[in-house]
Structure 1
Amino acid sequence: MFSYNVRGENIEVTKAIREYAEKKVSKLERFFTDVPDATAHVNLKVYPDKTAKAEVTIPLSFLVLRAEETTPDLYASIDLVVDKLERQVRKYKTKIHRKSREKGFEGIADVEVSPVEMPHAEIHEEPELEIVRSKRIDLKPMDSEEAVLQMNMLGHDFFIYTDADSNEINIVYRRKDGRFGLIETATL
């Protein structure tokens, strides 16, 4: 059984909204034979242009389910985000089944995800992941501001560089809202 953490930004989460979100997200529980103690984080946002965004993150021990959707209607956003999460579970299930068939392991596909809720008609083979281009880059030491400038000059949405202070490999990227994000790495 999932527990729920429903919160809102620029919106009061009413009892009706909370119940609707929990009801919709709880439909995902049927895909798992042994649902661990997982918390479904539901974040609802309303923007000044009256669009509503629903984000759902469900960290499981073997998989992190995460999706977001923005529409003019909050309830539609919740519906669409749950649909996305269902597709993610189906895709994961398909991969597990395919790997178990290839490796010859019987029953491995049923360990984490319930096979009952995955009709064979809905399972379709994903195309093989194929790398169509390879590129080698030299990482120049710089700070994050210079990396953003380099990224903009190249017209890319991300840029990989060596941080001049920490000497670690970092990534700057352009977010959907037009601002920038930074991913800092650490050597284990």
Structure 2
Amino acid sequence: MTSTKKPIPVAVTLRGNVGEYAGEYARNKITTALGVAHGPVLTAHVVLDWRHNPAAEDHAIAEASANVDGLTVRAKTAAPTMPEAVDDLEYRLRRQLAQLQDRNRTRHRRTGIPAEHGWHRGDLPPRHRVPYFPRPEGTREVVRHKSFASAPMNPDEAAYEMDLLDHDFFLYRDAASGAPSLVHHLPEGGHDAQRAEPGGATASVTQAPPPPSLTQGQARARLEAGGEPFVFYLDADTGAGCVLYHRYDGHYGLIELAD
């Protein structure tokens, strides 16, 4: 019988000193990984970037994003060589897709039941953080400003969304209070939540102090002085939840939670 399954379209973008062979290698690897998706893959995009950062050993950056039946799944890796980065990317994307299936089964409830292919949350190794370029402080600019509206969530759901998108943090609106909130990974493992109006603790997310009220300039000064990858704060004028963070090119990114 002839298969009627449509081929998965995988677009590949090469940046820096990355050859066409690496692009085809990534296309084949990610196409194979997407074959386990439990739903139609509408779009898929891979970005391979070679960034010579004198402060880091991992110069090869590989990113993948896919729209699976209307939901976005992302993965990002860094390694000394591009083949290593692509291999790690395939592994992470497979686990992200299995996590998506698990989420669909449990309807955002964390049951501890392993998903298909034997996956559960503890199986996914921590991603090597992509080091940002050591740009001098006086030359750093806020070059990206995103504002988005988040559906109300509880901390567990926000942590699940963060893991599905392979992000280091996730800005959201708390379902109980409606207040701007943020969940992020802890260095020792697990998740931490900051909420403008603290709520009750959950089984899998600890509670951090509420975010401060700052101007963008104050947040920038705190980011530069503290050595942290991001600063979560409430805009001193509008009260909007904001995250100022280090971009990998050494500049800053700004995300604002819209009403």
Give the TM-score, by structure 2 length.
0.53
> Which one-letter code corresponds to 2:92 in the other structure?
K
Describe how 1:101-112 pairs up with structure 2 within 5 A. Answer: none
The aligned residue for residue 26 of structure 2 is 21
Aligned to 1:149: 221
CA root-mean-square deviation: 3.3
Superposition pairs of residues 129-144 of structure 1, within 5 angstroms: 130-140=204-214, 142=215, 144=216
- Equivalent-residue separation in structure 2 for 1:34 and 1:96 (angstroms): 11
Deviation at 1:183, TM superposition (A): 0.8
1:152 positional shift:
4.2
Q: Distance in 2 between matches of 1:76 and 1:5?
A: 20
Structure number with higher strand proportion? 2
Q: Are the equivalent residues in 1 in contact too, given 2:65–2:72 (CA < 8 A)? A: yes
Once the two structures are TM-superposed, the CA of residue 79 in structure 1 deviates from its matched residue by 0.9
Equivalent of residue 81 in structure 1, options 85, 89, 97: 89
Is 2:128 the counterpart of 1:54? Answer: no
Query: Normalized per residue, which structure has more helix?
Result: 1
Query: How many Å separate the matches in 2 of 1:131 and 1:48?
Result: 36
Structure 1 unmatched runs, 5+: 103-114
1: distance between equivalents of 2:220 and 2:108?
43
C-alpha change, 1:154 and 1:124, in structure 2 (3 Å) is closer
- 1:71 matched residue in structure 2: 79
Q: Determine which structure has more spread, i.e. the larger CA radius of gyration.
A: 1
Q: Measure the CA separation in 1 of the matches of 2:239 and 2:109.
A: 44
Counterpart of 2:11 in structure 1: which amino acid? Answer: N
- One-letter code aligned to 1:3: P
What secondary structure does 2:76 align onto?
A: strand
| Contact kept? 2:10, 2:31, Cα under 8 Å | no
Alignment partner of 1:171 is 2:243: yes
What is the rounded CA distance, in whole Å, between the counterparts of 1:76 and 1:155 in structure 2?
28
Change (3 A) 1:125 1:51: closer
SS at match of 1:2: coil
Deviation track 1:11-63 (CA, whole Å, cap 9, x = no partner) reads 3542x33321111001123223442422x211111123582211111133443
**TM-score (normalizing by structure 1):** 0.70
Distance 2:22 2:83 in 1: 8
Measure, in 2, the Cα distance between the counterparts of 1:125 and 1:149: 36
Contact 1:94–1:125 (8 Å) recurs in 2: no
Q: How much does 1:125 deviate?
A: 6.5
Correspondences of 1:107-126 after superposition (within 5 Å): 118-119=116-117, 122-124=118-120
Give the Cα separation in 2 of the matches to 1:17 and 1:56: 14
Unaligned runs of 5+ in 2: 1-6, 123-189, 191-201
Task: State, as a whole percentage, how many aligned pairs show the same letter.
Answer: 20
Query: Which stretch shows the higher mean deviation, 16-25 or 89-98?
Result: 89-98
Q: Is the 8 A contact 2:40 2:69 kept in 1?
A: no
Distance 1:17 1:168, change over 3 A: same
Letter matched to residue 170 of structure 1: C
The answer to whether the Cα contact below 8 Å between 2:46 and 2:65 also exists between their aligned partners in 1 is yes
